[in-house]
Structure 1
Amino acid sequence: MSRLSLLLALLMLTGCGHQTGVMTPLAAAAPTPSTAKVDMLVATTRQPSGDPATLFNGERSAKPHLTEVSISIPTNRKSGTVQWPERLPPNPATDFAVTRVQQVSTIAEGRAWFRQHPKGGHALVFIHGFNNTYEDSVFRLAQIVHDSGMQATPVLFTWPSRAEVVAYQYDKESTNYSRTALEQALRTLADDPNVKDITILAHSMGTWLAMESLRQMGIRDGHVNAKIHNVILASPDIDIDVFAKQYVELGAPRPKFTIFMSQDDKALAVSRFISGRVSRLGAINPTEEPYRSKLEKAGITAIDLTKVKAKDSLNHGKFAESPEIVQLIGQRLMTGQPLTDSKVTLGQGITAVVGGTVSTIGTVAASAVAAPAIIVEQPLNRNKRPSAAVDQLDDNLKSQPLTQ
């Protein structure tokens, strides 16, 4: 199949496009009893659109912008779904709706907002993937926060995506364009005394941006900021050889890494084809060698979602659309709890491989899982250099390992 044929197939799979024009806040009205609310801080390297209905477009801004956004979510909805309005203005009883938008001009204003939304000092930084509008990323984070039940203050970092399937290369370069802005945002967040710890949740092409920003931080400082406790990579669109180098160059100690993978991810299959047929990190089988041994030695938790049923035809958003998986993120991964104890109730046939030992860890609803998913986990020793876990390094790195 030619590259053009693959892109056309992907275009057909992705449907009719994106809904826009939903960012204008609803006029003040009496609270609707059947709604919940998610407040978030949004940092972006997108260009302002000049239209309050969209706020930001897919072009690149010379400077980052910060905005407070509040989203109303109808409680009578299926977990894992985003209820886009069929007409505007949205109906809060049935649709996701923006209720507040406020530009933030200074770091002091941003810190004041965080103090007003403490959640125990825990922060979640979400970085969206390829082919996303500003609205897409705002509504997706609101859905994840609500459905996971996480106790963390949500911060969205949205980079300039043109939200077009044929703009893959533009989007990839936009992540490179945004590396320093994300690094600075993470540093600013970590410097806030009200922030105790940070979890990074990145999806698809956004995982490249996350790894590059953390790598920059590691090169500058010798290690990632100690407040960044967890890094969760969902369907990572990263060349697996490049990830091996990025991981080592983070320095030590490293955050706890969790990777969600799916071998039936059609979007990553296309990415692999147009990227020189090198395996994408999010599409490997973590139970096969050499991946299993390398992940275990590095202390990386790899969760295989191949058998989890997806609502999207690309099988690319399972981490957010499966109620059990999104709750796993909010209730266990962000709090550093192990996955291999009797308290995990993910569903039927979920097994874990820890140090070569296989054990069952719970049961998942039949509607969510068709067959067992496999979890490969090894607790991370933050004081141990895991460079031996990745043997696909060049001679220079082998002869000059990172100092501790």
Structure 2
Amino acid sequence: MHRYLAIAALLLLAGCGHPAGVMTPVALRPGAPATSQVDMLVATTRQPSGNPATLFNGERSPKPYLTEIAVSIPPKRDPGTVQWPRRLPPNPDTDFAVTRVKQIDTISEGKTWFKQHVEDGHALVFVHGFNNKYEDSVFRLAQIVHDSRMRATPILFTWPSRASLFAYEYDKESTNYSRTALEQALRILARDPNVKDITILAHSMGTWLAMESLRQMGIRDGHVDPKIRDVILASPDIDIQVFAKQFVEMGSPHPKFTIFVSQDDRALAASSWITGRVQRLGAINPAEEPYRSRLEKAGITAIDLTKVKSGDSMNHGKFAESPQIVQLIGQRLMTGQTLTDSNVSLGEGVAAVIGGTARTVGTVAATTISAPLNAVEQPHTHHSPTDLGSTLTEDPESKPLTQ
């Protein structure tokens, strides 16, 4: 195990870090260049740090906390990037900076905040991945919301990650620790009359937490709340056979599922080593069998980002760091538009499996994908749990999903 962790550390280590403790609010300077602001509601199962510069640490809290946070984004920057300050306090002219922090003590206060910030009744719930500090997930969500230009109210669910390359097992157990809290947060949100629909966007290890919470909801109620319309799993760090069981056990009808995958994802390659060389959902080639047929039967849309280039040396954060992809999330998936009309143009290197049928998006795609994307959209159909179980895991004529 130690050998695997060492390999994972070498693969995951990237960048030179940034100053810790950026959560202390700073004031915007009068007459400074105009900045953009993202207001978000943050729910967490992390333990309070007692330090206003960090707010919460990576340890587990027996009760969840709510916080209202505003993040200022500088005017001159490249989409897909987070401008971390080189020194503290941050300079809002050039850096991402927190401008307001307010603790919310009751659910009623949280509902009031949502009513004041509602965007067309759409809610986005973001769940971060492995090796994240509280501030990492806050700034990442602010970047996604700003760069995607989405019209949705952003809600961050951040779970207790120790933000250490050697804490993979601790982080994974923290997702299990947090699944009921996320389920309860989704229920409260769904009961709010100001909410028309909810999109869940989860990344990496956070996809496990999202799936487990939806599975719990489905087991309790027989199905996921219908207001949870879309679930987007980016670089899902999930054993693919476990995902199939989670999908079935959440009941029917399902939300619409979209997964972003990439076969060159080095972080998922490390995760596969740690977990005993088990195939991760985020690293499959959705154009190959048996994945293609099984995705089609399950009504799951897979978008292959293998040929997409971004500033992420690990190829693990393409969904947020590629301007085209983050805009796809905000402009199309978040508004319920299809990915199968002729208006989609994401440039080179994106391949899509729409409802399991391989089509090209852009000009360069996997070798098995050749049909144009403007083909007629196939309707999204629901299947019974029994059908889906056999669809995703038990095809005697195909190789197992883990091969």
TM-score strictly above 0.5: yes
Q: Which residue of 2 aligns with 1:233?
A: 233
Q: Give the equivalent residue in structure 1 for 2:138.
A: 138
1:31–1:387 distance in 2 versus 1, CA, 3 Å: farther
Output the CA distance in 2 between the equivalents of 1:116 and 1:202: 25
Q: Deviations over 1:159-218 (max 9, x none)?
A: 000000000000000000000000000001011111110000000000000000000000
- Residues 264 and 208 (structure 1 numbering): CA distance in 2 closer, same or farther, change over 3 Å? same
1:226-256 deviations in Å (ceiling 9; x for gaps): 1000000000000001000000001011000
Partner Cα distance (2:308, 2:159) in 1? 29
Superimposed CA distance per residue, residues 36-68 of structure 1 (whole angstroms, 9 cap, x where no aligned partner): 000000000000000000000000011000000
Report SS of the residue matched to 1:120.
Answer: coil
Q: Which runs of 5+ in 2 are unaligned?
A: 395-403
**Does structure 1 residue 214 correspond to structure 2 residue 214?**
yes
1:223 equivalent in alignment to 2:223: yes
Q: Which moved more, 1:81-90 or 1:354-363?
A: 354-363
1:304-383 → structure 2 map (5 Å cutoff): 304-348=304-348, 350=350, 352-354=352-354, 359-362=359-362, 371-372=364-365, 379-382=379-382
Q: Please name the residue that 1:401 is paired with.
A: none
Q: State how 1:82-231 maps to structure 2 within 5 Å.
A: 82-231=82-231
User: 2:166 is paired with a residue of what secondary structure?
Assistant: helix
Alignment size in residue pairs: 385
Q: Counterparts of 1:393 and 1:290 in 2: how far apart (Å)?
A: 10
Following superposition of structure 1 onto structure 2, how do residues 19-58 of structure 1 map, counting pairs within 5 Å?
A: 19-27=19-27, 29-30=29-30, 32-58=32-58
The Cα of 1:7 is off from its aligned counterpart by: 2.9
Deviation at residue 275 of structure 1 after TM alignment:
0.6
- Residue 58 of structure 1: SS of its match in structure 2? strand
Decide whether aligned partners of structure 1 residues 90 and 286 sit closer, same or farther in structure 2, where only a CA change above 3 A counts. same
Shift of 1:104: 0.3
1:120 & 1:294 partners in 2: Cα distance?
A: 35
Question: Relative to structure 1, is the Cα distance of residues 7 and 177 closer, same or farther in structure 2, using a 3 angstrom cutoff?
Answer: same
User: Using the alignment, how far apart are the partners of 1:242 and 1:279 within structure 2?
Assistant: 11
Tell me which amino acid in the other structure corresponds to 1:9.
Answer: L
Task: Report SS of the residue matched to 2:135.
Answer: helix
- Structure 1 pair 94–379 and aligned structure 2 pair: CA distance change class (3 A): farther
Which TM-score applies when normalising by structure 2? Answer: 0.91
Are 1:261 and 1:281, in contact at CA under 8 Å, matched by a contact in 2?
A: yes
Q: TM-score, normalised by structure 1?
A: 0.90
Relative to structure 1, the CA distance from residue 33 to residue 7 in structure 2 (aligned partners, 3 Å threshold; closer, same or farther) is same
Contact 2:303–2:351 (CA<8 Å) still a contact in 1? no
The 8 Å contact of residues 294 and 390 in structure 1, kept in 2 or not, is answered as no
Counterpart residue number, 2:401:
none
Percent of residue pairs bearing the same amino acid type: 74
Q: Let me know the Cα RMSD of the aligned residues.
A: 2.1
User: Is 2:299–2:355's contact at 8 Å kept on the other side of the alignment?
Assistant: no
Decide whether the 8 Å contact of 1:346 with 1:361 is kept in 2: yes
Structure 1 position 9, deviation (Å): 1.5
Q: For the Cα contact (< 8 Å) 1:341–1:361, is it kept in 2? A: no
| Unmatched tracts of structure 1, length 5 or more | 364-370, 395-404
Once the two structures are superposed, residues 340-384 of structure 1 have per-residue CA deviations (whole angstroms, 9 ceiling, x without a partner) of 111112114655455786544446xxxxxxx436699854225x4
Question: How many angstroms does 1:16 deviate by?
Answer: 3.6
How far apart are the structure 2 equivalents of 1:126 and 1:389? 27
